[in-house]
Structure 1
Amino acid sequence: MNDTADVISTALDYFEGWYDANLARIEATLHPQLVKRSAMQANGQGPSVTTKERILELVREGGGTEDKTDDPIEVTVVDIHHDIAAAVVRSAQYREYLHLLRTPEGWRIVNAFWQLTDPEPEPPT
């Protein structure tokens, strides 16, 4: 495989692992120092970050099995530079921007920033 295919494969394992609540599949994609934030978290609503440990806990509880659809998951690799990469993932429920790091074990997600595909309207300010 080449780097682009490997980054796409990692992103799909991450998303499909979430939808299938497949702990081994999603765990293999996450860097130990993962930081995941939603747009709401970045605006100060909710916890400041979601960690690898929290994501794995959520997967053990069923992950995104209720969100799973037959809709395609689209992965666009934006850039790869030596040992770092950026990708955008689009699914029926989520838009997620991923930063990945090449490790001896393969590409791992270090940073994830996401928002619902159709977010609820923000309250007026």
Structure 2
Amino acid sequence: MKHTVATFVALLYSSLALSTYAQTKADSLAIRQAALDYIESQHRPDTAQMSRCLHPRLVKRTFWKYSKQPSREYLRESHADEMILLAGNYNTKGDKFLANPRKEVVLLDVSTQTASVKLYADEWIDYMHLVKLNDEWKIVNVLWQFNNPEKHR
């Protein structure tokens, strides 16, 4: 009985703590919009849209394989300035995405100032960390991979 009461009190306390620090609807919408800005700015080249969602110190990472030695892997990085350039140049011919590209955003965890998001795109998955600074949600980290890891060459 003593164990059951202690468990109940612990669960009650943790649920109160979670509700105290849970996101607002506005935060959820802003986090989702930042993830959508990230992918949509690549769908239709838009550097301003990419700039809007990224923190200037963003780092985007993935694993990569040497094409001549596929058993050797390394961590490949991009930064905010490169992502902004990519947004302006990647899909200029309009041939990099399907007519209705997949852009599914899943909020994995949201606190008052930080969030983790999973973005499903057509050919890859992005895991993102966001931070709320000056009432704006910005992407600070991205870890991604192609759905087909053999494309990482």
TM range (shorter): 0.7 to 0.9
Q: Give the aligned partner of residue 89 of structure 1.
A: 119
With the length of structure 1 as denominator, give the TM-score of the two structures.
Answer: 0.84
Does residue 55 of the first structure (1) align with residue 79 of the second (2)?
A: no
Q: Is the 8 A contact 1:67 1:93 kept in 2?
A: no
Q: Give the aligned partner of residue 13 of structure 1.
A: 37
Cα RMSD (Å)? 2.3
Give the whole-Å Cα distance in 2 for the aligned partners of 1:23 and 1:107: 18
In the TM superposition, what is the alpha-carbon distance from 1:100 to its structure 2 partner? 0.2
> Which of structures 1 and 2 has the bigger CA Rg?
2
When residues 40 and 3 of structure 1 are mapped into structure 2, their CA distance, relative to the original with a 3 A threshold, is same
5+ residue gaps, structure 1, are none
After superposition, what is the alpha-carbon deviation per residue over 1:94-113, rounded to whole angstroms, capped at 9, x for unaligned?
A: 10000000022511000000
Q: Is the 8 A contact 1:99 1:112 kept in 2?
A: yes
In the TM superposition, what is the alpha-carbon distance from 1:3 to its structure 2 partner? 1.3
Q: Give the aligned partner of residue 99 of structure 1.
A: 129
Moved more, 66-75 or 17-26: 66-75
Q: Is the 8 A contact 1:91 1:117 kept in 2?
A: no
**Secondary structure of 1:58's aligned partner:** helix
5+ residue gaps, structure 2, are 1-24, 66-72
With the length of structure 2 as denominator, give the TM-score of the two structures.
Answer: 0.70
Matching of residues 1-125 of structure 1 within 5 Å: 2-40=26-64, 43-44=73-74, 48-63=76-91, 65-69=94-98, 70-104=100-134, 106-120=136-150
Q: Is the 8 A contact 2:146 2:152 kept in 1?
A: no
**Secondary structure of 2:78's aligned partner:** coil
Identity of aligned residues (%): 25
Higher helix share: 2
Equivalenced residue count is: 120
In the TM superposition, what is the alpha-carbon distance from 1:71 to its structure 2 partner? 3.2
